[in-house]
Amino acid sequence: MNGQFFISLMAFVALLSGCAHDEATNTNNKPLDVASSLNIVLPVKNCSELLSTDLTTIGGTGSKVTKADIIMDSSGSSCVIEGLLAPEIGFKVQLPLESWTQRYMQLGCGGLCGRVGLMVSAADSCLAVKNNSFVLASTDMGHQGGSGDFGEDPQKRIDFAYRSMHLTSVAAKSLIKEFYGQAPRYSYFNGCSDGGREALMEAQRFPDDFDGVIAGAPAMNFSVQNSFHHGWLALSNLDENGNAIVHADKLPLLHKAVLDSCDTLDGLKDGLIQDPRACNFDPSVLLCKQGQETSTCLTRAEIQAVTNIYKGPHDKQTGLALALGAPMRGSELSWPGVFVPMQGNEDIFSKRVAEEALSGVIYKENPENFKLTDLKFTEAEFEKVSALYGLYSAVNPDLATFRSQGGKLILWHGWSDPHISPINSIAYYEAVQNQMGKDETESFMRFYLFPGMYHCFGGDGPYQFDLVTQMMRWVEQGISPYEIIAKQSSQPETFNGAGAPEENVDKPAKALQNTPSLDRSRPVYPYPYVASYKGIGSINEADQFEAKLGSTGPERYIWAGEKFYQPNQQLKCQVDNNQLKCSAWNQM
Q: What is the mean pLDDT of residues 204-216?
A: 98
Helix ranges, 4-113 (H): 9-16, 56-59
Lowest average pLDDT, out of 126-130, 200-204, 236-240, 351-355, goes to 126-130
For the stretch 298-321, pLDDT in tens is 999 999 999 999 999 999 999 999
Residues 6+ apart with CB under 8 A from 284: 303, 307
Direct distance between the N- and C-terminal alpha carbons of the chain, in angstroms, rounded to an integer: 39
Query: Could you tell me the pTM of the whole model?
Result: 0.92
Q: What gap in Å lies between CA 76 and CA 83, rounded to an integer?
A: 22
Give the closest residue to 431 by CA, choosing from 393, 469, 457: 393
Amino acid at 457: F
- pLDDT category of residue 516 using cuts at 50, 70 and 90: low
Q: What is the mean pLDDT of residues 537-552?
A: 97
For the stretch 472-488, pLDDT in tens is 999 999 999 999 999 99
Residues 6+ apart with CB under 8 A from 514: none
Q: What is the mean pLDDT of residues 191-200?
A: 98
Residue-level pLDDT at 492: 60
| pLDDT at position 506 over 60 | no
**Residue 265 CB: number of other CB atoms within 10 A?**
14
Q: What gap in Å lies between CA 379 and CA 383, rounded to an integer?
A: 7
Asked if residue 372 lies in contact with residue 197, where contact means CB atoms within 8 angstroms, the answer is no
Q: What gap in Å lies between CA 421 and CA 378, rounded to an integer?
A: 20
H helix or E strand, kind and range, residue 523: strand 520-524
Give the closest residue to 385 by CA, choosing from 344, 349, 354, 343: 354
Q: What gap in Å lies between CA 240 and CA 173, rounded to an integer?
A: 54
578 conformational bin, left if phi > 0, alpha if psi -120 to 50, beta if neither: left
Packing angle between helix 194-205 and helix 164-180, nearest 10 degrees?
A: 80
| pLDDT at position 428 over 60 | yes
Share above pLDDT 70 across residues of the chain, in percent, rounded to a whole number:
89
Asked if residue 188 lies in contact with residue 407, where contact means CB atoms within 8 angstroms, the answer is no
Share above pLDDT 90 across residues of the chain, in percent, rounded to a whole number:
85
Residues in the chain: 588
The number of angstroms, rounded, from the C-alpha of 324 to the middle of its chain's C-alpha atoms is 16
Q: What gap in Å lies between CA 28 and CA 482, rounded to an integer?
A: 8
Which value, in Å, is the radius of gyration of the alpha carbons in the chain? 24
Q: What does the longest C-alpha to C-alpha distance in the chain come to?
A: 82
Asked if residue 171 lies in contact with residue 82, where contact means CB atoms within 8 angstroms, the answer is no
- The residue among 96 and 37 whose pLDDT is bigger is 96
Q: What is the mean pLDDT of residues 81-88?
A: 98
Q: What gap in Å lies between CA 460 and CA 259, rounded to an integer?
A: 12
For the stretch 401-418, pLDDT in tens is 999 999 999 999 999 999
Residue-level pLDDT at 242: 95
Cis, bond preceding 528 (omega within 30 deg of 0): yes
- pLDDT category of residue 210 using cuts at 50, 70 and 90: very high
| pLDDT at position 367 over 50 | yes
Task: Tell me what the pLDDT averaged over the chain comes to.
Answer: 91
Q: What is the mean pLDDT of residues 52-65?
A: 98
Residue-level pLDDT at 490: 77
Q: What gap in Å lies between CA 122 and CA 485, rounded to an integer?
A: 12
- pLDDT category of residue 500 using cuts at 50, 70 and 90: low
| pLDDT at position 515 over 70 | no
Q: What gap in Å lies between CA 462 and CA 139, rounded to an integer?
A: 29
Residue-level pLDDT at 324: 97
Give the closest residue to 497 by CA, choosing from 192, 107, 93, 140: 192
Asked if residue 582 lies in contact with residue 391, where contact means CB atoms within 8 angstroms, the answer is yes
How far are the Cα atoms of 133, 210, 450 from residue 19, in angstroms, in the given order? Answer: 10, 19, 21
For the stretch 443-459, pLDDT in tens is 999 999 999 999 999 99
